[in-house]
Amino acid sequence: MKLLRPIQNAIRGSLVGLGLLAVAGGASAQTRELSGSGQLLDRIAAVVNDGVVLNSQLEEQTEEITQRLRQQNTELPPRNVLRQQILERLVVEEIQMQRADKLGIQVSDEMLNGALDDVAKRNNIGFADLPQALAQQGIDYRTFRDEIRRQMTLQLLRQRDVIARINVSPRELEQFMTRQANAPDRNAEYNVSHILISVPVSASPEQIEAREKRAREVYDKASSGEDFAQLAVAYSDSSTNIEGGSLGWRRGSQLPSILAENIPKMKVGQTSEPIRTPSGFHLFRLNEMRGGVQQAVVQQVHARHILLKTNELEDDQTIEQKLRDIRKRVLEEGEDFAAIAAVTSQDPGSAADGGDLGWAGPGSFVPEFEKQLDALKENEISPPFKSQYGWHIVQVLGRRQHDSTEDLRRQRAFAELREAKAEEETELWLRRLRDEAFVDYRM
């Protein structure tokens, strides 16, 4: 079973945007020792601040990349040039790892196992079978784990130092979304049918008018609910007429230009008005759509809460009783929940608003909090409960069905804009790190 390349691809898919530089075959131990007789087993290729890049790392990376380039039938540069390029990349990686360590950035075993489990699933094997599958290709599982942890750490560092600091202005976002609104979603697929009412090249004005009238009649029939496929068989002059006008599934980038201009305005099941081109009058029906951002209606809840935390003087029982007393004051004595929250809640994000958390959908809160929300009726106040943030009481103010399609479209547009800026910003960031580092080449 040739698993190495699929595993590498799966890692890239499961760790979207990690930009893995070397996995599996290029993984290497970070330290070497002297043998009992004093024979040197490794040597230093470069000193990087207070760390090193070992010659063994350089050799393994060079071999792995050389094999990859040969498999791709890519002409190899001179070996000394290739080694220097790889050494420089290892130096830059070492600089990043040192910074990550300084900042306390760590990849937990849980995060790492989640990534490796995704690798296993993408290769249709169990997580427990991954070590054996790697061993069959001569890859040490522990070394493999170390390399993936390393690459995940680099990505977390990039997220902190680069991605999180990229600014997308409201104006940029609105302009980008306006351009998107006038073009088909390139990530979506459209199932489309077509009817053509052709017009002869040398048609007279009367003939053109007659053909337009027929196209309008067909459009009215389709809009009133008549079967589009039957109308295509009966009226269409297109070569797809005997297939009911079906164009099949097309990606946004593969749509005919005349349809690409109109598809963003159409809903599933809708037929376009006749569109004039030199060949005649066209009608398109959007049968189905998949992928991209589709309509997303979610159940939202409007809630407010009071958060109290334990301290050296007040334990769990004391805090829980305080919240019971507050709940009683609101329910039995009629005191204002928001007023109490404003002066007692220890949630800095909501206390000033009387504990108001606004409208939120599924997944917005930790499980313990959502469990309480799900059990409450409108205006009901929960008993005190504990989460990772402290002790709460929460009140549900309302529930609604909310179309979050526009929110999702805005989130995706923001992510695309930010990622478009990320490549250049990453290069500038890496250059600054490299310029500020002490590097002494020993090769």
pLDDT at residue 402, rounded to an integer: 82
pLDDT at residue 335, rounded to an integer: 95
Listed by start position, the domains of the chain span: 4-166+436-441, 186-291, 297-403
> Would residue 189 be called left, alpha or beta, if left means φ above 0 and alpha means ψ between -120 and 50 degrees?
beta
Residue type, 311: N
pLDDT at residue 36, rounded to an integer: 52
pLDDT at residue 229, rounded to an integer: 92
Residue 171's DSSP bridge partners are: none
Residues near 252 by beta carbon (within 8 Å), at least 6 away in sequence = 183, 184, 185, 186, 187, 188, 189, 190, 260, 263, 292
- Does the CA dihedral 403-406-412-415 come out positive or negative? negative
pLDDT at residue 202, rounded to an integer: 87
Same fold, 186-291 and 297-403: yes
Tell me which fold the domain 297-403 belongs to.
Chitinase A; domain 3 (3.10.50)
pLDDT at residue 340, rounded to an integer: 97
SS3 for 197-246 is EECCCCCCHHHHHHHHHHHHHHHHHHHCCCCHHHHHHHHCCCCCHHHCCE
Tell me the longest C-alpha to C-alpha distance in the chain. Answer: 102
User: What does the block give as tokens for 246?
Assistant: 């079906």
CA 187 to chain centre: 13
CB 82 within 8 A of CB 65: yes
Residues near 129 by beta carbon (within 8 Å), at least 6 away in sequence = 120
Residue 319: which of 355, 300, 344 has the closest Cα? Answer: 344
Residue type, 366: V
pLDDT at residue 26, rounded to an integer: 40
pLDDT at residue 2, rounded to an integer: 36
Q: What is the CATH number of domain 186-291?
A: 3.10.50.40
**Which residues of the chain fall below pLDDT 50?**
1-35
CA 380 to chain centre: 36
Residues near 188 by beta carbon (within 8 Å), at least 6 away in sequence = 251, 252, 289, 290, 291, 292, 293
pLDDT at residue 219, rounded to an integer: 96
Query: Could you report the per-residue pLDDT of 251-297, keeping only the tens digit for each?
Result: 776 777 778 778 877 889 999 999 998 889 999 999 998 876 556 67
On whether the 4-166+436-441 domain is CATH 1.10.4030.10, my answer is yes
